[in-house]
Amino acid sequence: MIDVRAGRLLMALTCCFFIAACATSEDETPGDRRSVALEEDNVSLKKQIEDLNAVENALNRELESQKGLAAQEQNGTKVLRDENERLRGAIAKLQADLNQARMEKAKERPVADVKTSGLAGPNIDIIERHDGSVAVRIGGSAMFNTAQDTLTRSGERVLDRIGRFLKQRRDLQVSVEGHTDATPLGKTKAIWGTNLALSLARAMAVQDYLRATQNIAEKRMRVVGYGEHRPLMPGKSKAANAKNRRVEIVLYSKSD
């Protein structure tokens, strides 16, 4: 009798538990399930935001590091630029000092020696130039016939004297400079074209003669033609033309 009552009691308790469970399941609404899902999504999004913030912080640190390197590089470039400018200034000063020394050296010997060399004479002047060099200025009529580049006999004799002097002064360099007057070319225009070309041809004739007859090394000489563009006397008078037609043999120190 007791066992029957116990069995009924157990069955009654089992039914109660089943009913309670059913009641709990039925009480969980769709809204509750969405709330749980949203909470889970919220937790996931927070985690993603934290990860993104961490990445952003790392990128900011890297950016700051790169900015620091860029600033260092810029500072280094400025230092190099400043040093480069300083060196340029030093080089320019040294070059100026060297040029000054060369001018002083050029003044030491050429002027005195050329003046006492016996080169001066009729139609030949010895000119001291502002750069310390010396010019042997020869009147054009003593060197060439009108509009020609062939040396006259008197011109050859003058160059023979200059050549002998240059053999004694191997430290000197030579610049042969041709000049004409401003008279337009006539019949010879077809040959020369311009006075500038004629002046250059005359300078080359002087160089060729010194090299061929006096053995003056070509490397010691240079030729320049100025045409009518460096007159000694303005105008086109007979006196001006005679003075402006000339050859100047400029002597300067080899170290220049």
Tell me how far apart the alpha carbons of residues 164 and 141 are, in angstroms, rounded to a whole number. Answer: 22
> Which is nearest to 163 in space by CA: 106, 211, 110, 114?
211
Residues 189-241 have pLDDT tens digits of 999 999 999 999 999 999 999 999 999 999 999 999 999 999 999 999 999 99
**Residue 252 pLDDT grade (very low, low, confident, very high; cuts 50, 70, 90):** confident
pLDDT higher than threshold 60 for residue 12 = no
CATH architecture of the domain with residue range 110-253: 2-Layer Sandwich (3.30)
> Which is nearest to 220 in space by CA: 180, 142, 166, 177?
166
pLDDT of residue 82: 82
Residues 144-202 have pLDDT tens digits of 999 999 999 999 999 999 999 999 888 889 999 999 999 999 999 999 999 999 999 99
116 vs 6, more confident? 116
Element (H, E) at 33: helix 30-108
Residues 55-81 have pLDDT tens digits of 888 888 888 888 877 777 777 888 888
DSSP3 helix / strand / coil % (the chain, rounded to 5): 65, 15, 20
Which one-letter amino acid corresponds to residue 84? N
Q: What percent of the chain has pLDDT over 70?
A: 77
Is residue 254 within 8 A of residue 171, CB to CB? The reply is: yes
Q: What is the DSSP letter of 193?
A: S
